[in-house]
Structure 1
Amino acid sequence: MKKLFLLGVLLGVINTSFAGSPINLGLKAGYSSSMLTTDLDQFNDGSVSNFLVGAFLRVNLKKWYLQPEGYFTSKGGNLNDVTTESFDLNTVDVPLLLGYKLIDVAKVNVRLNAGPVFSFITKKDGDTSGSEFDYNNVKDNYVGIQYGAGVDFLFLTLDARMENSLGDVHTGGGDEKIKLFMVTLGIKFL
């Protein structure tokens, strides 16, 4: 408990020291819900809950900002036909977001953001044997779009975003896309 308190004091001092800086650096973690949408008639789409953890850099340009991020996330989905088949993907995601601050006062800001996300799959796992969809045929990387909103209060940041893959993420038959909803809580160090 003592170490946690000291860490909090240290982070507060660092944050105060860089309060006027146009650059913010921080860590974030959160919840995600993902699903695979498909045009294969035999399947009903089902979502799965996962997590994400990573870092962000925000370059503030008055009301506008650029925010590159990098984080590890787990994505997947359930495909329901006669049985439920599931798959999981571990990915490293790199979004490049452009944002606008709707409210920008000393200790609080409310913002919107959007931009491309580049997903690099590090691990594929699942049970889709005997179906038209085979998780091994998911592409090793793909591009998507993210859009959402966030709130900053002092050194804390809260974001909610949607992600949609652009184009087919699977090399087999059909048109499969990954959709993701995420909520993250972050802490700004700078």
Structure 2
Amino acid sequence: MNRLIGLISGLLFISTLHSEAQISTFGPAASGQVLWAKVDGDNISSQPIPAYSLGGFARVKLLKFYIQPEVFYARKGADLLVHDLSTNQDTKQELRYETVDVNLMLGLQLFNDDIGFRLHKGPGMNHNLDNSYKVNGDKIDESAFRFNPIPLTGRQVLE
């Protein structure tokens, strides 16, 4: 009996949310990133490369709040120059990796739809698709620099 009451209550709650919910936006999203931080030491220096992400999102409104799932393909990386003090040789290293990023943002619309000012935050998951690591142009096996395949991240954005 308790399960039946719980099931009926859950269905009523979902139907109430569904009647109040309005899918306001589906859309593509793209971004470019440049990391300005650099590593400069006695035997190593880094040069970031421009990164990009392409994907899409859906925004489901619940009054002034909304839920926004997102899926992105992203490419990131850096170039390193490592100086071996024992041989006095420089080694160029290229690090590139491609990920699929899945985020579930919870947000608040601060003003009306015309202004479009929103604040959202939420967890995300990144899955590595491809790792590419080259030393002086020669590809190195990715097991030499294994990344955590599914790290959980947090993200907050002010649009």
The reply to whether TM is greater than 0.5 is: yes
Instruction: Identify the structure with bigger relative contact order (alpha carbons < 8 Å, sequence gap 6+).
Output: 1
| 2:104 equivalent to 1:96 | yes
| 2:69 equivalent to 1:77 | no
- Structure 1, unmatched stretches of 5+, are 1-20, 151-190
- CA distance in 2: counterparts of 1:135 and 1:64, whole angstroms: 44
> Helix, strand or coil for the counterpart of 1:109?
coil
- Structure 2, unmatched stretches of 5+, are 1-20, 84-90, 137-142
- CA distance in 2: counterparts of 1:138 and 1:118, whole angstroms: 13
How do 1:61-76 residues align onto structure 2 when only pairs under 5 Å count?
Answer: 61-76=62-77
- CA distance in 1: counterparts of 2:67 and 2:36, whole angstroms: 28
Counterpart of 2:26 in structure 1 is 25
| 2:139 equivalent to 1:138 | no
Distance change in 2, residues 1:123/1:98 (3 Å): same
Task: Compute the RMSD of aligned alpha carbons.
Answer: 3.3
Are 1:34 and 1:76, in contact at CA under 8 Å, matched by a contact in 2? no
- CA distance in 2: counterparts of 1:59 and 1:86, whole angstroms: 40
- CA distance in 1: counterparts of 2:22 and 2:145, whole angstroms: 43
- CA distance in 1: counterparts of 2:100 and 2:71, whole angstroms: 7
Pick the structure with greater CA Rg: 2
Amino acid at match of 2:153: G
TM-score after normalising by structure 2: 0.64
How do 1:1-190 residues align onto structure 2 when only pairs under 5 Å count?
Answer: 22-23=22-23, 24-33=25-34, 43=44, 46-82=47-83, 83-102=91-110, 104-128=111-135, 136-150=145-159
> Helix, strand or coil for the counterpart of 1:22?
strand
Deviations 1:163-183 (A, max 9, x none): xxxxxxxxxxxxxxxxxxxxx
Are 1:33 and 1:47, in contact at CA under 8 Å, matched by a contact in 2? yes
Are 1:35 and 1:48, in contact at CA under 8 Å, matched by a contact in 2? no
> Helix, strand or coil for the counterpart of 2:117?
strand
> Helix, strand or coil for the counterpart of 2:116?
strand
* Percentage of pairs with the same residue: 24
Amino acid at match of 2:100: V
Deviations 1:90-120 (A, max 9, x none): 1110011111122x22422201111111001
> Helix, strand or coil for the counterpart of 1:141?
coil
Are 1:33 and 1:49, in contact at CA under 8 Å, matched by a contact in 2? yes
Count of paired positions: 126
TM-score after normalising by structure 1: 0.55
Are 2:38 and 2:48, in contact at CA under 8 Å, matched by a contact in 1? no
- CA distance in 1: counterparts of 2:68 and 2:94, whole angstroms: 33
